[in-house]
Structure 1
Amino acid sequence: MWSILVYLIGISAKIIVSFILFCVLFLIGCRFWLEPVKGVCKCKTKLHGKIALITGGNSGIGFETAKDLARRGAKVIIASRDVKKSEEAVANIIATTGNELVEHRYLNLANKDSIETFAKDFNKEFDRLDILVNNAGIGGIKKQNTENGIDMLMQINYVGPFTLTYLLLDKLIASKPSRIVNVSSYLHKMAKFDFENLSDVFTYSGQTGSLYSQSIRYGNAKLCDILWTVALAKKLPYGVTANVLHPGLVKTNIFNNFSPHIKRVLFLIIDLLYKTPIEGAQTIIHLCVSPKLENETGCYYMDCKKVSPSKAAEDEDLAERLWHKTLSLIKQ
């Protein structure tokens, strides 16, 4: 009887170990299927005398981008609505890079008045803008609208950055050569809206509670980011470039509430699948500083390489119609 019990325990242990091994190998396979490499920006470009503006630069990939550009000598402006967190980020960057030309300015991309006030003050105070990184964004939030009736997720991820960039264009053009870098996502391939009725994309009316519907809304905004970049690139004068990127699957603080023991196991697996913020920032940095991209514009990048986005994202007619639709929306 005892020998049978030992035998069954042994079989069970082998099944469990085999299952765990299968899961780990499956996750590793998914990682390399989604992102076969982790691109690294290797260029040593210095940015002394340049001014870089980074939205959402107080945490994650935005923070790592801000720190890298500061280390290269740029004057860095972090634009975000969390004042305390931004002040801590500024102090950290100054301490680690030795560059004291780092500061925070309040900006709430969910509020049109805040964007207009920020742009007005920036244009008045600064004599140039060499690099604009539209990094700030938001993920899974429940459906809610702005005062102008725009889905908040769409406002923060697309309409807000569009408005900010539009209001800073004269400064960017006057500072050329200059660069605009927009952060999109691989999830733009999940976008789903009526391309013939673009009003719907701003006020998504489908189911709002499920993870699927939130992914659709997020994908819609990120597709708009690519389309907008394509349209913008064609309107910019020579010397001003606009490119867009997928930063990768970046590890965040979403797992902070787990117990330390569980986190150790999770992070062992997650490190095989996701990028750290430093790794996730590499393509942004590459688009900001690589001398090889001085005249490259209107392109989509991943892991520091130009790649093809979804078919819809390459639709130049759709990009143009979206541009004019958004422009009429922000001018209301």
Structure 2
Amino acid sequence: MWSILVLFIGISAKIIGSFLIFCLLFLIGLRFWLEPFKGVCKCKTKLHGKIALITGGNSGIGFETAKDFARRGAKVIIASRDIKKSEEAVANIIATTGNESVEHRFLNLLKKDSIEAFAKDFNKDFHRLDILVNNAGIGAIKQQNTKDGIDKLMQINYVGPFTLTHLLLDKLIASKPSRIVNVSSYLHKMAKFDFQNLTDVFTITDKTDSLYSQMVRYGNAKLCDILWTVALAKKLPNGVTANVLHPGLVKTNIFNNFNPNVKRVLFLIIDLLYKTPLEGAQTIIHLCVSPKLEKETGGYYMDCKKVSPSKAAEDEDLTERLWHKTLSLIKQ
């Protein structure tokens, strides 16, 4: 009896061990299939006399981007809604870089009034804007629409940055050469919405609020970020560029609103296989400072290289229709 039990335990342990090894090899393979290498920005470009605005610059890849710009000599403005965390980030950047031209300004991308007030004050207080990084975003949020009827996840990740950029465009154009960099995600390939009825993409249609539906909503917003960037690039004058990127899977507070059990699994995978915030910031930095990209616009980048997005992201008709639909929404 005992020998049979021991044999059973031994066989079970081998099966479990083999399964765990398979899972680990699968994750490693997935890592190298999605991101064959980790790109690093090697440009030594200085940014003295330049003004850079980074949304969500108080943590994660936004913080690492802000710190890099400060080291290069730029005046850096961190825009976020967490005042305490932003003040700590500003103090940290000043202490580590020696650049005292770093400050925080309050911005809540969830509220149209906050975006308009921020842009009005920025345009009044600053004589130029050389770099705009639309980095702030959220991975999951309770299903709810804003008072304007827009899914809050879509508002924070897409409509808010679109509105902010629209309101700062005159300043960016007057400061050319200038650059706009939008943070999207590889998960834009999970997007699912009716391309003919764009009203649906801005509102919550799946009431289940499962992890899958959350990822689809997130993918929808990130696809919109790519489409918007392509449309914007076509409309900007020479000297102003707009590009978009996937930073990689990075352990940041974008996952804070996920289910705790899901978040633990995600963080385990990220810790084992994916990127640190500093590594995730490299493509943002590259797009903002590389001399080779002075005239490159409308591209989608990953690991500091231009790559192809999903087929939907290359749909020219969808690009234009989304642009005009979003403009009509923010002007209501």
Q: Residue 245 of structure 2: SS of its match in structure 1?
A: strand
1:132 alignment counterpart: 132
Which consecutive residues of structure 2, in runs of 5 or more, have no partner in the other structure? none
Q: Residue 327 of structure 2: SS of its match in structure 1?
A: helix
1:293 alignment counterpart: 293
TM-score by length of 2: 0.93
1:304 alignment counterpart: 304
Report the number of matched residues.
328
Q: Residue 234 of structure 2: SS of its match in structure 1?
A: helix
Cα pair distance change 1:231/1:72, threshold 3 Å = same
> Matches of 1:99 and 1:105 in 2, distance apart?
17
2:200 alignment counterpart: 200
Deviates more, 1:118-127 or 1:309-318: 309-318
> Matches of 2:197 and 2:109 in 1, distance apart?
25
Contact 1:30 1:273 in 2 (8 A): no
TM-score by length of 1: 0.93
Contact 1:54 1:62 in 2 (8 A): yes
Cα pair distance change 1:140/1:267, threshold 3 Å = closer
Deviates more, 1:135-144 or 1:114-123: 135-144
> Matches of 1:299 and 1:321 in 2, distance apart?
19
CA positional deviation for 1:122: 0.3
Output aligned runs, 1:132-151, within 5 Å. Answer: 132-151=132-151
Deviations 1:82-109 (A, max 9, x none): 0000000001111111111100000000
1:17 alignment counterpart: 17
Q: Residue 44 of structure 1: SS of its match in structure 2?
A: coil
Cα pair distance change 1:66/1:6, threshold 3 Å = same
Deviates more, 1:207-216 or 1:127-136: 207-216
Residue 174 (str. 1) matches residue 174 (str. 2): yes
Q: Which amino acid aligns with 1:59?
A: S
Q: Residue 242 of structure 1: SS of its match in structure 2?
A: strand
Contact 1:208 1:214 in 2 (8 A): no
Output aligned runs, 1:113-124, within 5 Å. Answer: 113-124=113-124
> Matches of 1:199 and 1:284 in 2, distance apart?
30
Contact 2:250 2:270 in 1 (8 A): no
> Matches of 1:267 and 1:163 in 2, distance apart?
32
2:106 alignment counterpart: 106
Identity of aligned residues (%): 87
> Matches of 1:100 and 1:48 in 2, distance apart?
13
Deviates more, 1:33-42 or 1:269-278: 269-278
> Matches of 1:27 and 1:247 in 2, distance apart?
18
**Cα root mean square deviation, aligned:** 2.2
CA positional deviation for 1:23: 2.0
Cα pair distance change 1:6/1:216, threshold 3 Å = closer
1:164 alignment counterpart: 164
2:215 alignment counterpart: 215
Cα pair distance change 1:234/1:84, threshold 3 Å = same
Deviations 1:91-140 (A, max 9, x none): 11111111111000000001111100100000000000000000001111
CA positional deviation for 1:11: 4.0
Contact 1:79 1:107 in 2 (8 A): yes
CA positional deviation for 1:18: 2.6
Contact 1:31 1:272 in 2 (8 A): no
CA positional deviation for 1:15: 3.3
Deviations 1:206-265 (A, max 9, x none): 22421111111111111110000000001101000000001111123669x99xxxx8x9
1:75 alignment counterpart: 75
Deviates more, 1:136-145 or 1:164-173: 136-145
> Matches of 1:7 and 1:192 in 2, distance apart?
49
Contact 1:142 1:208 in 2 (8 A): no
Cα pair distance change 1:300/1:12, threshold 3 Å = same
2:252 alignment counterpart: 252
> Matches of 2:140 and 2:235 in 1, distance apart?
32
2:228 alignment counterpart: 228
Q: Which amino acid aligns with 2:206?
A: G
Deviates more, 1:210-219 or 1:10-19: 10-19
Residue 57 (str. 1) matches residue 73 (str. 2): no
Contact 2:43 2:290 in 1 (8 A): yes
Deviations 1:51-98 (A, max 9, x none): 000000001111111111111111100000000000000011111111
> Matches of 1:266 and 1:120 in 2, distance apart?
39
Cα pair distance change 1:3/1:152, threshold 3 Å = closer
Cα pair distance change 1:98/1:9, threshold 3 Å = same
